[in-house]
Amino acid sequence: MNLLRGLCSIAILAFAPIDADAQISTTECRLTAAWLPAVSAQCATLTVLEDATGPADGTEIGLFIARVPSLNAAPQEDPLVIIAGGPGQAATDFYPRVRAAFEPIRRDRDIVLIDQRGTGNSAPLTCPQITAATVELAELETLPALMEACLAELDGDPRFYTTAAAVRDLEHVRETLGVEQWNLYGVSYGTRVAQHYLRRYPQHTRALILDGVVPNEAPLGPDVAAQSQRVLDQIMTRCATEPACADRYPQIAAQLDALLASLLEEPVTVGLADPRNAMPRSRQLSHAHVAAVLRLLSYSPQTAALLPLLIDAAGSGNLAPLAAQVEMITSDLESELSLPMHNSVVCTEDVPFFAATTPPEIETTYLGTTLIDALRALCGVWPRGVLDADLREPLRSDRPALLLSGDSDPITPPDYAEQVLVGLSNARHIVGPGQGHGLAGVGCVPRLMRDFLDTLEPGSLEAT
């Protein structure tokens, strides 16, 4: 797989300082993502049953595990486990992109990465011709047939690739490695997994860091259009009130309205230089494409800063920069997310709990009902998987917890974290002004996460 480069000698050893009796076959390996520097790690594959509740001689799959060793020769015995988001992203793909955020923690603790089943190198569920970009960009009427084609290609049974299975896998890994307690960091959808693990195995959870928090009691999806519009409105307001932006881009609100209305009426074909290789090409640009750019670039202030430039260029007749962003987003979604695993989660844990009617205010957003309609369409075909009866119950715990939110997050706003905070008696919620989805690498947050794990006193953290 593309995450492994330069495998070296194979040995039988324990993940020091993990229990020396926990023998597991490991290799020295390097984790890579895009153009980023490789991460040296010790990697292993643990065999588990695809259906944990089925017969003992049932289908087996491999869970891919990587240990990024501490910088300390004698690290603490409670490593940090990183749980990626998506759903559908692999931990070993996520970590190289954010490694700097966890270097303060790695001074005294190992980092453990476990590709959630269905992602990365853990029995990946893939449909080569159908990717995560399909849900974002495909025509609604084509989705059922596309999903049926995807199901026909799968090697695994998608019913067994949900949060319930992921939590059992985490516990199986912990037992195998001989760790008594570990700390969990979850981002986005990974916060759902982390919360459910704590609910099921509180005695083995030392502390919790939730970044971009998803409340387990609420389905993820119905609120995305409204939250995305909220953040886009913030971006427009900031530009209008900052003299440099307002002087350079005085008409972007009107330009965007005109662009969306025009593309809703009729898509256009745009010539551009492919941003990946500079080769000339053409592509269709539709309302759905522009909506995807607006939504996904809003995830961070760095990419959101591109939007006034892109909108102004398009309003002036130059659609190539916008089309180039569509190419980049499509490429990223194709490489970073497993669509089948994503579907197994949302079609089991979210879509069945959508309200029967869509709130009318969503129809006035730039996304409208597109995302909700797409999820309903694909889940009409996709099989529902295993759902723990208590998954959607509010979490109640006295374990130390640190919750992180950006006040400009278009998918997991601070209100979501506040819902979870109600049930946590030893927790703190920190909100980053002007920040988007995921705070781990922002400002002083890496230090705060380290201090939190060192002290287990969220209330004493200096967050200024």
> Are 117 and 214 in the same domain?
yes
* Owner of token pair 């005294």: 108
What is the Cα 16 distance to its own chain's centre? Answer: 29
pLDDT, averaged in runs of 10, over the chain (464 residues) = 29 40 78 87 96 93 98 97 97 96 98 98 90 68 91 95 98 96 99 99 99 96 96 97 97 96 94 87 91 95 96 96 90 83 98 88 93 93 96 97 98 98 98 97 97 98 87
Q: Identify the pLDDT of residue 16.
A: 43
The whole-number pLDDT of residue 141 equals 85
- Domain assignment of residue 194, yes or no: yes
Q: Which residues pair with 120 in a beta bridge?
A: none
Tell me, yes or no, whether 200 and 256 share the same domain.
no
Question: Which pLDDT score is estimated for 134?
Answer: 66
241 within a domain of the structure (yes/no): no
Give the end-to-end CA distance of the chain in Å, rounded to a whole number. Answer: 42
Give the Cα separation of 367 and 226 in Å (integer): 8
The residue from 336, 360, 379 where one domain ends is 336
Beta bridge partners of 62: 47
DSSP conformation letters of 351-414: GGGS-SS--GGGGGSSSTTHHHHHHHHHHTTSPP----TTTTSPP-B-S-EEEEEETT-SSS-H
Q: What is the pLDDT of residue 19?
A: 43
Query: Do 174 and 262 share a structural domain?
Result: no
DSSP class of residue 221 equals S
State the CATH number of the domain containing residue 407.
3.40.50.1820
Does residue 84 share a domain with residue 171? Answer: yes
185 and 315 assigned to the same domain: no
Q: What domain range is 33 assigned to?
A: 4-129+157-219+393-460
Beta pairing, strands 80-83 & 111-114: parallel
The pLDDT value given to residue 356: 83
The pLDDT of residue 23 is: 58
Domain boundary among 318, 336, 354: 336
Q: Is 352 within the bounds of a domain?
A: no
**288 and 171 together in one domain:** no
Do both 195 and 299 map to the same domain? Answer: no
DSSP string, 126-152: --TT--HHHHHHS-GGGHHHHHHHHHH
Using CA of residue 124, residue 130, residue 134, residue 135, what is the dihedral sign? negative
Domain boundary among 310, 336, 362: 336
User: Which of 176, 169, 193, 137 lies closest to 339, judged by CA?
Assistant: 137
Q: Is residue 364 part of a domain?
A: no
Assigned domain for 25 exists: yes
201 and 256 together in one domain: no
Nearest to residue 259, comparing CAs of 270, 243, 244?
A: 270
Q: Is residue 351 part of a domain?
A: no
Q: Total structural domains in the chain? A: 2
HSE, CB side, 13 Å, CA atoms: give it for residue 31: 28
Residue 228 inside a domain? The answer is: no
DSSP code of residue 424: B
39/171 same-domain check: yes
Residues 330 and 206 in one domain: no
Same domain for 445 and 331:
no
Residue 361 lies in a domain: no
SS (H, E, C) 29-84: EEECCCCCCCEEEEEEEEEEECCCCCCCCCCEEEEEEEEECCCCCCCCCCCEEEEC
* Half-sphere exposure at residue 40, Cβ-oriented, CA atoms within 13 angstroms: 6
Under 8 Å CB-to-CB from 460, ≥6 apart: which residues?
none
User: pTM, whole model, 2 decimals?
Assistant: 0.93
pLDDT for position 153: 92
Question: Do 79 and 187 lie in a common domain?
Answer: yes
